[in-house]
Structure 1
């Protein structure tokens, strides 16, 4: 699947498919600026998430994107920047 925009809903879906969710975390709340660690996602889960995003959206994300994007908002912005370059 290739798309023009990557949204919070897309990220939530991919996170849940790849790593599940901590029962203590409400992904339906305002999570854009919360750190991934606070949401229960460690670096391994983010690597899996990055791989899923790359395959689904047919893009390549630098390792620095995944290590530097510490919040959902930052990751969404990075993915959308890459999508803009790829189109």
Structure 2
């Protein structure tokens, strides 16, 4: 999953703060600074789990504070699934 995929899902699941440019370099920007709270990330997680038919590690998702950290969790799970 790419940053573009993630920002698209965030917009679809939780909208977008007009004062934040998600097209910029946001990989290391905390979700809170991007206008997304834990509920928005949870909604996005649910969508990813449905779309990709996988279960993400809830603790790892909760600890991810930036898109880079979140993508690492998601992509790790996707890689594990494809290697199984």
Q: Same fold (TM over 0.5)?
A: yes
Aligned counterparts of 1:76 and 1:63: Cα–Cα separation in 2:
14
Match of 1:44 in 2: 39
What's the offset of the Cα at 1:16? Answer: 0.6
Which structure 2 segments of 5+ residues have no match? none
Aligned residue for 2:31, secondary structure, equals coil
Higher helix content, 1 or 2: 2
Match of 1:26 in 2: 21
Q: 1:77 aligns with which of 72, 78, 82?
A: 72
CA RMSD of aligned residues (A): 0.7
Higher relative contact order at CA 8 Å, sep ≥6: structure 1 or structure 2?
A: 1
Aligned residue for 1:37, secondary structure, equals helix
Output one character per residue of 1:10-45: Cα deviation in whole Å (capped at 9) or x when no partner: 101100100010011100111000000000000111
TM-score (norm. length: structure 1): 0.90
